Amino acid sequence: MIRTPPSPRTHALATDHQLGIERYLTGFHTRHTPSYRFDLIVLGGGVAGSLAALTAARRGLDVAVVTKAGLREGNTRYARGGLAAVLSDVDSFDSHVADTLRCGRGLCDRDVVERIIHGGPQAVQTLDRLGTEFDRGVSGDWMLSMEGGHSFPRIIHAGGDSTGIEIQRALTEALHKEERITLFPDTFAIDLLREPDGQVSGVVTKAANGQLLLFSASNVLLATGGAGQVYRETTNPVVSTGDGVAMATRAGAALRDMEFVQFHPTCLYIAGAARVLISEVVRGAGGRLVDRNRVAFMESAHPDGDLAPRDVVSREVFRRMIETGDTNVYLDFSDVEGDPHVIFPSISRTCRVFGMDIARDPIPVRPGAHYMVGGLAVDTEGRTNLPGLWAVGESASTGLHGANRMGSNSLLEGLVMGTRAGESIHQDPAPHVVKRAFEGASRRWHPIGELPVDVNIEDLTYSLKSMMWRQMGVERDLVGMTEAVEKIGFWQGVVQQLAEPGLPAWKLLNMLTVARLISISALSREESRGVHYRADFPQMQAGAAQHTLLTPRIQDDLVHSVRLEHVPVKTAIQEGLS
C-alpha cells in the first residue's frame, strides 16, 4: 500500500545531514596499548581480503589478516551460487560486459566493468592453482550454468551449491601456508587511526581475551563484507554488521550509492529457522516460482521469466505475497532436469531437516537482504579518499555493479580487485606508521551501576532490523524513509549515551551508522532505479544517471555531519577521492 506523502519534496544538489556520530567507539591510548607492526593490515578473510593478502605477501610485504570471527566465517563461505567468468567459446567478454551494464541501469563505470570482466579467466585460474575443486563434466571441462541477467552459461560452481565453502577452504589453507601472513582470528576491529595529514596508519582492535590491541601499518585494507544484518530478513551471516564501512565513516572516508541494497528473491522461509539462500542456479536449472495456488507468476512479469534480474524478481515475489495474503511464495523443483537431490545437495540436506523433499515439495521462499551494492568510494586499484586506506569486496563501491549487482559478479569482483589492490599496495607501500600517540576521546559511557535506564541492546537491534525490513526494504516511500532516518538517529543517541560499553553496543552502533547512511541516501534519490524502488517515484529519471556521494565531516572527535551530493557517473569516483 502506498502511503501519501505530506507534501512534495525536492533535494538540493548538495545537502548536509546531521549525524552526531562519535569519532571513536571506545577510549584508548596508544602508549598503553600492546601493538603489532606490519606493512599491510587486511581486515577480513573472505575472497577479496584473502587475495589481497596473498598477493601482497608473495611480493614481499608482511601482512596481518584480522578477522572478526573464525577465518572461514564470512559472506564468501555462504555464496551458494557461483563465480561468473567467460570460460567457453560460445560466450564473449563483450556479452558479459553488455549484460552487466544492462543490469546496472546506467550507474556502472564501463571501464571498470571491462577491466574486471576481462580478469575473470585469470581469476578462475588463480583459484584453480590454489586447489579449489570446481565442478567438471565427464570430459574434464568446467561445468557452466545460467543465472538471471546472463546471456550465456558462464557460472562456474563447486560442489553444486557449495561454491563459497570450497573457495573459502582453498583460500584459508593458502593463508595458513604463507610465511609472510600472520593470522588474527576472533579479533574485533574497533576504529581506524588517522594521522594529522590524513594518513590512515593503524587499527585499534579487541582480542578474544578482551584485551585492546593496536595494529600499526603502512596501509590498511578493508575487506569486511556487507551489512545484511541491519535487516530482519537476510541471507548474510551474523558477522555482517557493516563494521568496516562504519569505522571508515568515522575516520572520514567517502561513500557512494548506499541506497542500493540488493534483495535476493529466494531465501528459505521457515519460522524460527535461519534464513538460507536458495541459489539462483535452481531457477537456471528449471525451478519455477509459484504462489500458494501453485500459479507460476514470473512468465507474465518479465520476458526472462524466472531468470529476470534479481530486483525484478524480488519485487514480484513481494507483490505476490501481498496479493495472496501469504508470508511467502514457493520454489518448485519439479521441472528441474535430473535429480535435484544430486544437483543441489546442500539445499536438499537443509530442506530434509524440515521435512521437505525438494523433488516433491515446493519449498517456501521470500526475499532477504543479500548484497550491499554501495559502499566506500574507491578508484580502480581500491584506494579510498583517505591515504593508506583501501577497500575491496562488498564494503567497496568500484563501479562494477551500478544500481543492481548481477548474480555471481561479486566473487569475480572480489578476486580481481583483491589481486589489484595487493599489487598496488606492494608497488607503493607508503612508509607511514603511527607517528604520534593517539588518545581516543573519552566515551560518555556512564559507570556501570549508574545508568539512568537499562538499554536493551538485543531489543533495539531487533527493532532496527524490523523497521529496516518494513520501511527500507524491497519497496520504499517518503513517509517510511523519513521515519526511518528519525528513529535511527534517536536510537543512535540512546546507545551512544546510555548503553553499557562492549561488543554488543559497538556492533549495534555500526549497524545504526550503516542503516542511517542507507536511509539518508535512499531518501535523496527521487526515482526508482535498479534495487532502489520507490512507490512514490516508480519511474527511473530521464537523462544522465547520477551517483549519490556521501562525505563525512569530522570536527572535535565527532562526525557532526555528512555532505550528500548527486554527481555524474563519470566523475563520481574522482570527486569522492579528491
Cell of 333: 523443483
Same domain, 178 and 48: yes
Burial environment of residue 441 by CB neighbours within 10 A (0 to 12, 13 to 18, 19 or more): middle
- Domain extent at residue 323: 263-369
**Does one domain contain both 104 and 236?**
yes
- Give the end of a domain, one of 352, 369, 386: 369
Q: How many CB atoms lie within 10 A of CB 6?
A: 9
Asked if residue 459 is part of any domain, the answer here is no
Same domain, 332 and 390: no
Q: Tell me how far apart the alpha carbons of residues 269 and 172 are, in angstroms, rounded to a whole number.
A: 31
Please check whether residue 373 is in contact with residue 403, taking contact to mean a CB–CB distance below 8 angstroms.
yes
| Terminal Cα distance for the chain, rounded | 42
Instruction: Enter the C-alpha cell of residue 75.
Output: 559472506
Same domain, 184 and 330: no
Using the predicted structure, report yes or no on whether residue 320 has a pLDDT greater than 90: yes
Maximal C-alpha separation, the chain: 70
pLDDT tens by residue, 451-495: 556 889 999 999 999 999 999 999 999 999 999 999 999 999 999
Sequence-distant (≥ 6) Cβ neighbours of residue 525 within 8 angstroms: 259, 532, 534, 548
Statement to judge: residues 211 and 73 lie in one domain: yes
**Whole-number Å distance between alpha carbons of 68 and 555:** 29
Report residue 311's pLDDT band, with 50, 70 and 90 as the boundaries. confident
Q: Strands 181-184 and 63-66: what pairing? A: parallel
Q: How far apart are CA 55 and CA 419, in angstroms?
A: 6
Integer CA distances (angstroms), 30 to 27, 80, 193, 205, 244, in order: 10, 42, 10, 11, 21
Range name among 137-141, 143-147, 315-319, 427-431 with the lowest pLDDT average = 427-431
Nearest CA among 471, 362, 320 for reference residue 312: 320
- CB atoms under 10 Å from CB of 187, counted, come to 23
Any residues with CB less than 8 A from the CB of 4 and at least 6 apart, and which? 479
Both 386 and 313 in one domain: the answer is: no
Domain co-membership, 326 together with 421: no
Q: Are residues 226 and 329 in the same domain?
A: no
* Domain CATH for 383: 3.50.50.60
Query: What is this structure's pTM?
Result: 0.91
236 and 285 within one domain:
no
Q: Is the pLDDT of residue 253 over 70?
A: yes
Domain count, the chain: 2
- In whole angstroms, give the CA distance from residue 82 to residue 410: 9
Say how far apart CA 523 and CA 560 lie, in whole Å: 19
C-alpha cell at 312: 525484478
∠119-420-242 over CA atoms, to 5°?
105
Residue 252 forms part of a structural domain: yes
Instruction: Collapse the DSSP code of 435 into the 3-class scheme (helix H, G, I; strand E, B; otherwise coil) and give the result.
Output: coil
Mean pLDDT of the region 498-527: 96
Q: pLDDT digits over 383-414, tens only?
A: 999 999 999 999 999 999 999 999 899 999 99
By annotation, the residues acting in catalysis are 310
- Do 228 and 93 belong to one domain? yes
Confidence band, pLDDT 50/70/90 cuts, at residue 380 = very high
> Residue 542: inside a domain, yes or no?
no
Structural domain contains residue 13: no
- Buried (b) or exposed (e) across 37-74, using 16+ Cβ within 10 A? ebbbbbbbbbbbbbbbbbbbbeeebbbbbbbbbebbbb
Which CATH number characterizes residue 313's domain? Answer: 3.90.700.10
Do 376 and 410 reside in the same domain of the chain?
Answer: yes
Is 29 within a domain? no
530 assigned to some structural domain: no
Query: What is the torsion angle, in degrees rounded to the nearest 10, for the CA atoms of residue 299, residue 303, residue 307 and residue 309?
Result: -120
C-alpha closest to that of 474 among 297, 310, 237, 307: 310
Q: In what order do the strands lie in the sheet with 144-145?
A: 83-84, 155-156, 144-145
Q: Is residue 204 part of a domain?
A: yes
C-alpha cell at 550: 556521501
